[in-house]
A and B are shown apart, each in its own frame.
Chain A
């Protein structure tokens, strides 16, 4: 991750402030920074979104293409995730610099979405065993200001809400084979049901307390963090501990309680915004503001 250079004095200042529930930008420990989300910013995708969490900027593009289903689930479609760290975010991501991180994050997303009830994959199947919709979800990180996973998961959920899958009819041709016809009608599309899509909430342990939505500077002072994927009802679909320090049982329990509360709130806020902008196809992108 792109790291800020902090002196011991600065780190101590941040840790002491957090002990009093005051962070350097004035937030409390469980407050998120201002989130801006916009949908439909890239027109030749099936769905896209742009998300800005103050200094962290992420663009997600979803492309729906037809392909072979996986042999273990022949009647379902599938999702493929790819995270790309653009050199724009930091010179250390130039060339192959961001490869390790991108593999780690792509796998994290793939694992979370592999859970059965997250998306209705059966609706993405076209012909059993032969053809299905494959949704390629590509995440490009443009600016790195801390708390990447949360920002990426918010953007992915928004992009999936924005995704339009063209209607497909399967016709039987004269030789008994099957022919696939994709609808040309601009209104002939179906959207995905994203109610069960989870969001990542990262809780970073700084000193004796935990904070939500750590900035780049706070991440430098953090000894351990817990990344949880939470769905809109507060159920956890995956928990990972990152970092070098250890967590006690009580603090783990406390952090998970906080995650549940924060997660439900986050889902609620995102759903409110997506009701307005989720079906946009002509976002202004960077030209605003």
Chain B
């Protein structure tokens, strides 16, 4: 018998949210001056930091050079103090490598790769605090960092998760809700064209409920898009006001 009731009778989740509500999102662009682009995002208690270096010459193995598009290199790392139980390895383990591949595929679909042949773009994401939705926080932070670096993309890439509890789809699941073993759907979307660039479902989900859960996740992505695009506009207007002063 599970001790935690993920959805109360009044329709409130463990942290007091309604099923369709996202966690509080706060973000900032340009946190580091040395990187070409950087961004920090907080989704509830999940904190992610992303930096982008590039486009620059391909470092490492020369065999990876692509003659017609840019090479995207991702690294995902979680701080050892980010999870409840201390982790012994911050990067290089299986889960991190899998996450790196997902991030690489996601951004290969969004960045205009044919503009920088024989070059490399590095995207490094660091999780400072993990409370569920790690992949989504990484994707959202990386999108802002890529925009901060001035690398052209087809559209924002917004990611969100959705789950299914007590016959109700819920959006933006936290770590507690994830660890209860219910289905988890992760979606990364290009909002303007409604194109899904990354899609993954863990655990069992009945096909009848699938449409509803997917719609919930897509709606979550679009809500996140609103927040991110406002953040970018504020950042640009602040930069423009600095330029006008001089």
Contact = CB atoms under 8 A, between A and B. Distances in A.
B128 A287 contact: no
A170 to B, nearest CB: 23
A96 to B, nearest CB: 7
Interface stretch (A15-23, A59-67, A147-155, A247-255): A59-67
Nearest to A136: B86
Given A43-B129, A59-B79, A91 B53 contact: yes
Most buried by B among A43, A44, A61, A87: A87
B230 to A, nearest CB: 15
Interface in A56-81: 57, 59, 61-63, 65
Q: Give the contact-size bracket for chain A.
A: 20 to 34
B81 A287 contact: no
A286 B79 contact: no
B129 A87 contact: no
A153 to B, nearest CB: 18
B42 interface: yes
Contacts of B189: none
Given A63-B86, A88-B49, A138 B81 contact: yes
A178 B86 CA distance: 26
B212 interface: no
Contacts of A84: 77, 79-80, 90
Interface stretch (B26-34, B105-113, B200-208): B26-34
Interface string B122-147: 10101011010000000000000000
A44 B124 contact: no
Interface range for B: 35 or more
Given A59-B128, A286-B28, A48 B81 contact: yes
B51 interface: yes
A145 B122 contact: no
Contact of B34 (A48, A59, A94, A145): A145
Contacts of A59: 79, 128
A43 B130 CA distance: 10
A91 B122 contact: yes
B45 A43 contact: yes
A144 interface: yes
Nearest to A4: B34
B164 interface: no
Contacts of B42: 285, 287
A203 interface: no
List 7 tightest A-B contacts by C-beta distance, closest first.
A61-B81, A87-B124, A286-B40, A88-B51, A138-B80, A45-B81, A63-B86
15 contacts: A42-B79, A44-B83, A61-B79, A63-B81, A63-B86, A94-B73, A94-B75, A94-B124, A140-B79, A142-B49, A143-B32, A143-B34, A285-B40, A286-B40, A287-B28
